[in-house]
Amino acid sequence: MYDMFRNFAKGDLYLLGEARSEMMGNGIQNADFRIKYFENTLDASNADLNWYTPYRVIDYANLVLKNVPGITFPVEAKKNSILAQAYAMRAYIYFTLAKSWGDVPLITQPTEGYDAKSTFKERTPVAEVFDTIKADINKALSLFPNNNFPAGRSTWSKPATFMLKGDVYLWTGKVMAGGTTDISTSLNALDSAQNSDIQLLPHYSDIFSYYNKGNKEVLFAVHFDELEATNNYFADMYIAPGDIPPTLDPATAAKLGIGGNYNWWAPTALVRNQFTDDDQRKAASFLELYSHINGVDKFVTSVVLKGNGFIKDGARRFVCDVIIYRYGELLLLKAEAENALGMDPSAEINAVRQRAYGNNYPSHIFVSGSIAENDDAILKERLLELAFEGKRWWDLIRFGKAFDLVPSLQGRQGSPYLLLWPVTQQTITLNPKIQQTPGY
């Protein structure tokens, strides 16, 4: 189950969660198939993200949930933990699918055999999918034997599942008319997640270091390692050694180090320009490359520094963990829920800013304003805090800002179907009961 989840997290999870936002644009290389994401030109003929891998994760979870109850364990708590992890994983994958496509087939039994009645499923109404997601989360929480984190924090735990619950209920509260009831449930779940062994690391860059996996800011991450997994999506955001400008200034060259893979796409100027130089997140998140010729600086490209892996035998390996949930995001989810409930979100926002700005924090203290003003501040803080972590697209939808802040969507408010993804023709061909997403 976790191995297949890693296959999903190495690329497709990022494409779903951020590729269609304003975060990324053209790099040195031809952005190729990625262009249709950030230019939002997806349609039924060019959709290429299918359901194969996420539904395989679900199938493995279903196999666990069907078969593990009949196995005798020397320690019952271990059995319960395994079942809890499977429920949490199934909930997370369905949450990802529902946010992306809306109605999706709801399959809660493993696929064993080729019977058309069991394998060909129609798209289930999204509200029903969320009922199952919430039930799975609550079942998982009831089964975890304690609040401890596993070694490496690379499997589901009770605190991580509480954070998932907060994420889910905030979505249904804001996007699906769940209102204050769901948002209150979200806040309570986030409080429970916070009551665990987590903290903000003093140095922002340490969160993502290959040599600091499973640190105390992490609630749940997908484990990658040399000789165990191939490069993940961060490889597409760096730069090939041969493309590095030979006239880089020494400080930039030292920070960039050895190149790796290709600069298929790069952080946009729109995003880069929102960071200030006194924010340590800027230096830890991306690097702008300029050639210096005859005293003239010419911008070449930018690269993402998060997830840039490590060097072995003169080559860069992009096998940093992909973080699903961490404490910095938990604080901002709490701030969002508090603000939606008319509460003051200052404490959580300022905790994030204090780490980000250090000695310059007094110039960046957040002071609560109207709900709309606070929402704008929280959404921007999420951009700065979570850039390139696969969150932005869903943030824009949850805040109702996709058509305002994504350049390629501006003026297209009359086409709300664009917030969902089209289904690939291959998926429809394989399962004739699947109907295309309305609008596509």
In a shared domain, residues 178 and 314: no
Question: How many percent of the chain have pLDDT more than 70?
Answer: 100
pLDDT for the residue numbered 46 = 95
- What Rg do the C-alpha atoms of the chain give, in angstroms? 22
pLDDT digits (tens, 9 = 90+) for 23-37: 999 999 999 999 999
Say yes or no to pLDDT of 293 above 90: no
Instruction: Supply the range of the domain harboring residue 302.
Output: 233-321
pLDDT digits (tens, 9 = 90+) for 236-251: 999 999 999 999 999 9
Q: Has residue 146 been placed in a domain?
A: no
- pLDDT bin (cut points 50, 70, 90) of residue 166 is very high
Strand pairing partners for 323?
221
Q: Has residue 19 been placed in a domain?
A: no
Q: Has residue 91 been placed in a domain?
A: no
Say yes or no to pLDDT of 330 above 90: yes
Count of alpha carbons within 13 Å of 226, Cβ hemisphere only?
10
DSSP for residue 400: T
In a shared domain, residues 238 and 313: yes
In a shared domain, residues 293 and 350: no
Q: Which of 223, 216, 227, 239 is nearest to 154 (CA)?
A: 223
Contact 324, 221 (CB under 8 A): yes
In a shared domain, residues 352 and 305: no
Of 321, 356, 381, the position where a domain reaches its end is: 321
Q: Has residue 286 been placed in a domain?
A: yes
In a shared domain, residues 281 and 201: no
- How confident is the model over 156-178, as a mean pLDDT? 98
Q: Has residue 85 been placed in a domain?
A: no
Written as six digits, the tokens of 185 are: 């449930």
Residues recorded for the chain: 440
Say yes or no to pLDDT of 187 above 80: yes
- pLDDT bin (cut points 50, 70, 90) of residue 294 is confident
| Mean pLDDT computed over every residue of the chain | 97
Separation of CA 95 from chain center:
12
Written as six digits, the tokens of 70 are: 């009949």
pLDDT for the residue numbered 16 = 98
In a shared domain, residues 219 and 327: yes
In a shared domain, residues 290 and 175: no
Within 10 angstroms of residue 144's Cβ, the number of other Cβ atoms is 23
pLDDT for the residue numbered 118 = 73
pLDDT for the residue numbered 370 = 98
- pLDDT bin (cut points 50, 70, 90) of residue 130 is very high
Give how many domains the chain has, as a whole number: 2
pLDDT for the residue numbered 386 = 98
In a shared domain, residues 216 and 329: yes
In a shared domain, residues 304 and 167: no
pLDDT for the residue numbered 119 = 80
- How confident is the model over 109-119, as a mean pLDDT? 84
Say yes or no to pLDDT of 117 above 80: no
pLDDT for the residue numbered 397 = 98
Q: pTM for the full model?
A: 0.97
- pLDDT bin (cut points 50, 70, 90) of residue 434 is very high
